[in-house]
Amino acid sequence: MKAEIIAIGTELLLGQIVDTNSQWLAQQLARIGIDLYYKQTVGDNKDRVVDILQQSLKRANLVIMTGGLGPTQDDLTREAIAEALDVKLAKNEQLATEIEDFFAERDYQMTENNFKQAYLPIGAEGISNPQGTAPGVLVEQEGKIIVALPGVPQEMKVMIQEEIIPYLQDSILDDEIIKSKVMKLYGIGESSLEEEIADILEEQTNPTIAPLASRGEVKLRLTAKADSLAEAEQMIAEKIAELEERIGDYVYGYDEEGLEEAVAKLLLEHGLTLATAESCTGGLLGARLTDVSGSSAYFERGVISYSNQAKQELLGVAEETLRQYGAVSSQTAQEMALGIKKRAGTDLGLAITGIAGPTGGTPQKPVGLVYIAVADKEDVTSYKYQFKGGRERVKFLTSQQALKLLLESSR
């Protein structure tokens, strides 16, 4: 089965809202073995929605639309579906009752325009929305299926999981399953990774292996097709075992696991505690570490020592060190790491100092220059990096590298 996704909303085109719905929908379709060939975004314009929908129906068996099902004048998805199929809209009394009940149960004042959501293209079925007032639309016509769902993510997800996926699995899907798993690696570039596993990539059939570059890391996506989920998972597990023999030293996690989760696992496993001192990253590292639930078990404190005065008062960096070597130096980074470790009484102290830009750089110390120091029970070591890009990118890559150093220090 071939599918397409159409995301509807002018706010998506203007960049005011990020389209996370399409990404999530693509993952759900892949999970049940449906091939997705196109994703499109269109504004709140009926003629353009009709045009795109008609194009999609020529190429795909299944079209999933999100957005444009609300009660206002710019919500035109129902009208567009009806026009594309050359049918009229008709009021569905059951949906109208469900909408009235939704407002009554919450003691909300209902306005007349909410009844617009009870109209469906003739021949369509309504999809109940347990979390909102906008029902979905399901149309089957001449071997084609159109599914229209609200753009509100939590509403759309519930309707997909509880209504649409069971419908697809029961009605039209064969038994083939598509399963994907993502290996996450650090400390190796995409080109070097491909060289390491060139023969495995050349021989791949099922599962397939796709290298993916990402900010500060590299990923390998493994995708297997099989008659059952268990068989697909076994195929992937066997291929992962083969890959780990070759590149296991670079693998830090799988799927949604980030570097911060990998660090958390190792710190907890080895019973280590950590404190951080950040200058140019402004607390980004601490934020990433504390995004992990249970981080209080290993993360003791984080200090944002942006100024020289803060570095002296909060971390004990010597005035002479700052005068002789400057705030952005190996010597200052080491004293920051030792200072935060001593004051926090932790097993590890990590410090960051650098120039995030776009101002502040000099020929001797250009924008993107960063020093990261790690103090452990035995010693303190500093590392010098030169990152490229804008301020946000330099800060992120610095935090990424700091997490990599913590991984190595925790092992």
Instruction: Report the alpha-carbon distance of residue 286 to residue 38 in Å, rounded.
Output: 39
Stretch 320-336: mean pLDDT: 98
Tens of pLDDT, residue by residue over 220-256, are 999 998 888 899 999 999 999 999 999 999 999 999 8
User: How far, in Å, are 265, 295, 300, 378, 398 from residue 268 at the CA level?
Assistant: 5, 9, 13, 20, 23
100-136 tens-digit pLDDT:
988 888 888 888 888 899 999 999 999 999 888 899 9
User: For 190-228, how does the pLDDT look when each residue is reduced to its tens digit (9 = 90+)?
Assistant: 889 999 999 999 999 999 998 887 788 899 999 998 888
Q: What is the CATH number of domain 177-254?
A: 3.30.70.2860
Long-range contact set of residues 242-250: C-beta below 8 Å, sequence gap at least 24? 242/200, 243/183, 243/197, 243/200, 243/209, 246/196, 246/197, 246/200, 247/185, 247/188, 247/193, 247/196, 247/197, 249/187, 250/185, 250/186, 250/187, 250/188, 250/193
The pLDDT, as a whole number, for residue 229 is 82
The predicted structure's pLDDT at residue 234: 97
Q: Using CA atoms, how far apart are residues 45 and 352, in angstroms rounded to an integer?
A: 50
Residue among 309, 310, 335 nearest 321 (CA):
335
Q: What is the pLDDT of residue 384?
A: 98
CA distance 94 to 53: 27
What pLDDT is recorded for position 132?
Answer: 87
**CA atoms of 246 and 239, how far apart (whole Å):** 11
The CATH fold of domain 259-410: Maf protein (3.90.950)
C-alpha 335/C-alpha 312 separation (Å) is: 10
Looking at residue 256, what is its pLDDT? 85
Write down how long the chain is: 411
The CA distance from 40 to 50, in Å, is: 13
The per-residue pLDDT for 212 is 82
Rounded CA gap, 357 and 281, in Å?
11
Q: So where are the chain's domains?
A: 2-171, 177-254, 259-410
Helix, strand, or coil here: 273?
coil
pLDDT at 175: 58
How remote is the C-alpha of 402 from its chain's centroid? Answer: 21
pLDDT at 108: 85
Task: Report pTM.
Answer: 0.69
Its sign, for the CA torsion 76, 78, 81, 84, is negative
Asked if residue 304 lies in contact with residue 312, where contact means CB atoms within 8 angstroms, the answer is no
Tokens 């220059």: give the residue.
369
* pLDDT (0 to 100) of residue 64: 98
Phi/psi of residue 236, each to 5°? -65, -45
Q: What is the pLDDT of residues 36-45, one digit of tens each?
A: 999 999 999 9
C-alpha distances in angstroms, 72 versus 75, 82, 108, 358?
A: 5, 17, 17, 44
CA–CA distance, 287 with 312 (Å, rounded to integer): 23
pLDDT mean across residues, the chain: 94
As given in the structure block, the two tokens for residue 117 are 């959501």
What crossing angle do the helices spanning 308-315 and 330-344 adopt, rounded to 10°?
40
Distance, first Cα to last Cα, the chain: 46
Q: What is the mean pLDDT of residues 258-287?
A: 97
| Beta strands per DSSP E along 47-121 | 62-66, 89-91, 119-121
Question: Is residue 33 over pLDDT 80?
Answer: no
Report pLDDT digits (tens) over 150-184: 999 999 999 999 999 999 888 765 556 778 899 99
pLDDT bucket at 263, cuts 50 / 70 / 90 = very high
Pick the CATH number of 2-171 from 3.90.1150.10, 3.30.413.10, 3.30.365.10, 3.40.980.10: 3.40.980.10
* Alpha-helix residue ranges (DSSP H) falling in 131-209: 153-159, 165-171, 190-196, 198-203
DSSP helix/strand/coil, 92: coil
Predicted pLDDT of residue 1: 83
pLDDT of residue 201: 94
Q: How many CB atoms lie within 10 A of CB 296?
A: 8
Q: Which pLDDT does position 176 carry in this prediction?
A: 67
Q: What is the pLDDT of residue 102?
A: 86
- Is 411 a residue whose pLDDT tops 80? no
